[in-house]
Amino acid sequence: MMITGNKTLLISVTSALTGIIVGLAISTGLNFNTAAYSEEPKISKGSIELLSKTNHAMAEVAAAVMPAVVNISSTRTVKTQDMANPFQNDPMFKRFFGDQFGGSMHPREFKQSSLGSGVIVDKDGYVLTNNHVIKDADEIKIKLSDKREFKGKVIGTDPKTDLAVVKIEAHNLPVLKLGKSDLMKVGETVLAVGTPFGLNQTVTSGIVSAVGRADVGIADYEDFIQTDAAINPGNSGGALVNIHGELIGINTAIFSTSGGYQGIGFAIPSNMAKTVMDSLIRSGKVVRGWLGVSIQPVTADLAKQFDLKEEKGVLVGDVTEDSPAERAGIKRGDVIAEYNGTLISDPAMLRNLVAGTEPDTEVAVKLLREGKAQTVKVTIGELPASLQNVSKEYDNLLKGVQVQDLTPEIRKELNIPKHVNGVIVANIEEGSAVTGLLTRGDLLIQVNKKKIGSLKDYEKEVSAIKTGEDILLLIFRNGSTFYATVSAH
């Protein structure tokens, strides 16, 4: 139906377009050598028919997919602090203006709105979108192609892939079938559908520019499809579809120096999106596979040192004690060349494959050890919570604070004494109530006078804290320990 590796059709379309261009040039008086052409523009019937079929086919694909792409608008409350007066503690100013001079830092709140797109993936109201489209939203509104509006409920989010699933109370909805993104090849025709700048049901076309893009810096797990189909702000969470009208990617970001479209857009492949989506719907979180190795690329120098004929695979730098890799006999210095039948080209590829493997699944791993090939069977485990660097979200004053277990490596790096234990603050989201109070790298020793020795302890104590309730923290920072109160006032 469409152009997919058909050279004859490509030549025919090119010839038809040439006829139209020449015809237009003659009719507008451009300086063409008209000796070979008549005065009247000549476009063959065959060319017009061919282009008409192409136009009709593209329009059919667009019409088929647009009803399943929705507009998402979200609002969230952002808290900021007034800047403290630099003279408020000056004795001279207090003498003349009183103790109230300069005031104190009062929190201010304002509403922040954002627009994005989503894709209906289930007739009973499940919508797939980007995490950053609905992150920290107080209210989510989803507008369908038929102008109906619904409130969205977050089923689950995964910041590590920038994916989220939202549910609306509706049934018998139009759905986009998920295609197999691993079958997409560079040069294939794709359409991007979304709501850029809030403009509903916008369709752009292009080709797949590249596949397997990693190290872009957008998410922790990256395996992007790159396309030149125009993607602009508001397209995030929208659909990238193939010529069969199948979803092969969730549009996520653009590479731009101006903030607008510059010919480079990225989409999360549907294979990765399906794995994350199924896990979020099933359990509200993403369960990832774990091998237990530290890996690095194979460079030319390393290939020479390890007797490798090619710069392929990934080099194992370390093996975690009592991990699936150790139990299978994988050792430091091994080169992982193949994972469950897939050739490994770089660390990101192996990381994505392992993460997408269900725990307790047995896989074959092909190794190169001292120049000789061998295959081992590995039973993949579940990625430990301590390695995920993310604690759960809670609806209290510690919302937006992400912590992780204190590992020997972090203890050494931050020079934390052996007798001091707790959880490390890994990240603090913008607008959090602890902004200015906690910083990344702080060690939380106690929460409300309860000792915190692990991520499990932290989640147990924090989950019991009510919305708006003050929280007393014992913090270790730069060699000293101190108490701090998190308050809504």
> Which residues are identified as catalytic?
132, 162, 236
> Token pair 């997408």 is at which residue?
356
> Token pair 């989640």 is at which residue?
459
CA 390/CA 401 separation, integer angstroms:
9
H or E stretch covering 117 = strand 107-120
R_g (Cα) of the chain, nearest Å: 28
CA 474/CA 480 separation, integer angstroms:
11
Encoded tokens for 114: 């954002």
H or E stretch covering 348 = helix 347-355
Residues 6 or more apart in contact with residue 28 via CB below 8 angstroms: none
C-alpha distances in angstroms, 102 versus 31, 79, 83, 85, 170? 75, 20, 10, 5, 53
Residues 6 or more apart in contact with residue 377 via CB below 8 angstroms: 328, 362, 363, 364, 365
SS3 90: coil
DSSP 22-59: HHHHHHTT----GGGS-SS----HHHHHHHHHHHHHHH
CA 308/CA 50 separation, integer angstroms:
52
H or E stretch covering 282 = helix 270-283
DSSP 126-181: EEEE-HHHHTT-SEEEEE-TTS-EEE-EEEEEETTTTEEEEE-S--S---PPB--G
CA 422/CA 442 separation, integer angstroms:
10
SS3 124: coil
Q: Considering only the C-alpha atoms of the chain, give the largest distance between any 2 of them, rounded to a whole number of Å.
A: 96
For residue 347, which amino acid is it?
A: P
Residues written for the chain: 489
CA 98/CA 102 separation, integer angstroms:
9
- C-beta of residue 269 within 8 angstroms of C-beta of residue 162: no
